[in-house]
Structure 1
Amino acid sequence: MAYTVNVNSEKCVGCSLCARICPTGTLKIDKVNKKAYTTDIMCDNAWGCIHACPTNALKIVEAK
């Protein structure tokens, strides 16, 4: 199965912990609005970003 990460931009505070811990580069931080966003790279389902996020703004989901 392939996975991706949904980012709730309302909850994201732009701390970048998720992007720094992501081993695949699935998550990046937008330079303008300082919020996390998902790239086209598939998530390896490691859950590091989920545990690192202080506001629970992330959710791993099955890619479509």
Structure 2
Amino acid sequence: MAKFTKAKRAGDFIAIEPNQKSAYRPVVIRVGTHFIGILMPTRVPDGSPTHPDSMEVRDAWAAIL
């Protein structure tokens, strides 16, 4: 995400538009009215400690949210 902030100008906003159909599809990122980018998700094998459904990942996000 930090790379997208390089396109930000003073007064611009950054809009993140998740895909409504699936969590495994690209996310659209708009910076102001002059930049649009795509962030491609990656799949992590089931059972991996970094899998989105693992308790470690959920606990880490819970601390942030």
Q: If the TM-score is normalised by the length of the shorter chain, which range does it land in?
A: under 0.3
Structure exhibiting the larger radius of gyration computed from Cα positions: 2
Q: TM-score, normalised by structure 1?
A: 0.26
> Where is the helix percentage greater, Structure 1 or Structure 2?
2
